[in-house]
């Protein structure tokens, strides 16, 4: 299995508080992605990174920011969490972005905003 660690695995917090989720990889892959998964919506891309300090928005980026200061770490931050951001968050990595390179996923962070 790809070496991807997401932390924390579970978090409960209150509306309006900042939250940071971490994705750590040991594969030295260039590309990293953050998705959220909600019932009825499947997986949706939030942000992705194509290198250190290089990031871009995905389909549902409003309310989220990301940072990548090292190849192995990709952070997702909710500056002021809202109940609509209650979800399961998955990190993925890939060696390249062409269609012949699979994305590999971590085991997710279950986030509840009360």
Which chain residues interact with other proteins by CB under 8 A? 31, 33, 35, 42-45, 48, 56-59, 90, 92, 97-100, 102-108
Task: Give the separation between CA 95 and CA 29, rounded to whole angstroms.
Answer: 5
Compute φ and ψ for 84, nearest 5 degrees: -70, -10
Q: Which is nearer to other proteins, 11 or 44 (CB)?
A: 44
**In the bound complex, what is the minimum distance in angstroms from residue 84's beta carbon to other proteins?**
19
C-alpha dihedral over 46, 6, 112, 57, to 10 degrees? -10
Q: Which is nearer to other proteins, 62 or 98 (CB)?
A: 98
Q: Which is nearer to other proteins, 43 or 75 (CB)?
A: 43
């Amino acid at each position: 299995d790809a070496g991807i660690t997401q932390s924390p695995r579970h978090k409960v917090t209150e509306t309006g508080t900042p939250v940071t989720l971490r994705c750590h990889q040991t594969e030295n892959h260039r590309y990293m992605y953050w998705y959220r998964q909600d019932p009825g919506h499947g997986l949706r891309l939030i942000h992705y990174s194509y290198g250190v300090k290089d990031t871009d928005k995905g389909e549902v980026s409003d309310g989220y920011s990301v940072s990548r200061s090292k190849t192995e770490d990709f952070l997702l931050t909710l500056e002021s969490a809202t109940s609509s951001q209650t979800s399961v968050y998955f990190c993925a990595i890939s060696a390249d972005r062409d269609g012949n390179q699979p994305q590999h996923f971590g085991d997710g962070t279950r986030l509840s905003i009360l």
